[in-house]
Amino acid sequence: MKAKVIKNIRVNDKYGYMIIESKELSSSSEAGKFFMLSPRINNITNSDPLINRAFAIADVFHNDTILFIYQIVGRVTTILTTVKEGDELNVVGALGTKFTICESKNVALVAGGVGIAPMIILGKKLRSQGNKVTLFYGGGSSKDILPLDILSGSYDNIEISTDDGSVGCKGLVTKLLLASNEKFDHIYTCGSTGMLSAVVKTVLSIDDGIDIEVSMEAKMGCGIGACLGCLIPTIDKNGTIANRRCCVEGPIFDGKTILFERLV
Ligand SMILES: Cc1cc2nc3c(=O)[nH]c(=O)nc-3n(C[C@H](O)[C@H](O)[C@H](O)COP(=O)(O)OP(=O)(O)OC[C@H]3O[C@@H](n4cnc5c(N)ncnc54)[C@H](O)[C@@H]3O)c2cc1C
Ligand code: FES
């Protein structure tokens, strides 16, 4: 499907925001789901690369526009920086599973770097359901922490950490979680696989009764369950081990079912 780009803003040398317009796509956009964005702009065939890339839904405005946040790491995200207002982008979605929206609970969202993207819409949705929402947001340095205006309205509290201490508390985001006096009922997390593994371990060490949902990252070929390129090793409560497709059975998984030792 084609969607018109109505904004593409470079935040710094690492991140950009893009807003596309589509009533139809907005109606299927829920917290946790993602779109495959194509590097083909204005229908110009671009064979380098051929494969679309996954981007989380960061927010939906007025039921007709969708926000994406991209970290410039390679070919497609570099192409995305060249997109202009009014350009048309090929998009597929919304795809994948969504986060559970609990009601009237004390919840924490733990985001690492560009893992903040799905946490924006998630925080808003959770607050609208009467939850108290704390965001723990970590990055390598201040450049990895997005301007806080984009986060306004999504959280009751925000705590920040950076590896180099250039903004917020110095150290890993799990340090914030451990230092918190709050008793959380449910934790949601998105970031690198290493960070997700550390967050799940930390939560289990605090209280293994806390529910924890993770948004997993995997290299995706098709995004629709056909290529098996995005398998995540999991174990269920009965001890059954199975590979699950991140694009269809995920990207949102019960964090306690992921066999991180097979991934990192
Ligand atoms: C469900 C899902 C949702 C996602 N949501 C977002 C999102 O909202 N915003 C976003 O920016 N990305 C998101 N990603 C990751 C994004 O799809 C990849 O980063 C994508 O590969 C970038 O395409 P590229 O062509 O620019 O880089 P590629 O050519 O694919 O990669 C270039 C190089 O960068 C490395 N690389 C790839 N990803 C990362 C990374 N995250 N951090 C550091 N190095 C990396 C690769 O290993 C490779 O060496 C998501 C992934 C999944 C599975
Ligand atoms: S990306 Fe093809 S099966 Fe998941």
Q: How far is the CA of 132 from the centre of ligand 2 (A)?
A: 35
Q: Is position 189 within any domain?
A: yes
Query: What percentage of the chain carries pLDDT values higher than 70?
Result: 96
The number of the ligand 2 atom at minimal distance from the alpha carbon of 222 is 2
Q: Is the preceding peptide bond at 39 cis, omega within 30 degrees of 0?
A: no
Q: Domain check: are 160 and 192 in the same one?
A: yes
In a domain, 86, yes or no: yes
Number of domains observed in the structure of the chain: 2
Q: What is the span of the domain harbouring residue 12?
A: 2-95
Ligand nearest the Cα atom of residue 36: 1
In the predicted model, is pLDDT for residue 9 greater than 90?
A: yes
Q: Distance (Å, rounded) from C-alpha 66 to C-alpha 18?
A: 8
Ligand 1 atom at minimal distance to the Cα of residue 79:
26
One-letter identity of residue 256? K
CATH number of residue 206's parent domain: 3.40.50.80
Query: What is the number of the ligand closest to the CA of 97?
Result: 1
Nearest CA to ligand 1 atom 40: 73
Q: Are residues 167 and 255 in the same domain?
A: yes
Neighbour order of strands in the sheet with 65-71 = 53-56, 34-41, 88-95, 2-10, 15-21, 65-71, 59-61
Whether 50 is in the pocket of ligand 1, judged by its Cβ within 6 Å, is: no
Let me know if residue 101 belongs to a domain. no
Mean pLDDT of the chain: 94
Claim to verify: residue 66 and residue 117 sit in the same structural domain: no
What is the band of 215 on the pLDDT scale with cuts at 50, 70, 90?
very high
Is the confidence at residue 42, as pLDDT, over 80?
no
The pTM for the full model equals 0.94
Q: What is the mean pLDDT of residues 69-77?
A: 94
- Could you tell me if 39 and 150 lie in one domain? no
Ligand 2 site-directed mutation target among 33, 95, 219, 230, most atoms within 8 Å of CB: 230
Task: Return the CA Rg of the chain.
Answer: 18
Q: Is the pLDDT of residue 4 over 90?
A: yes
Region 190-219: what's the mean pLDDT? 96
In whole angstroms, what is the distance from residue 250 CA to residue 207 CA?
24
Domain final residue pick, 61, 95, 129: 95
Same domain, 131 and 239: yes
Q: Provide mean pLDDT across the span 137-159.
A: 92
On whether both 256 and 128 belong to a single domain, the answer is yes
Q: What is the CATH number of the domain that holds 86?
A: 2.40.30.10
The mean pLDDT value for 102-126 works out to: 97
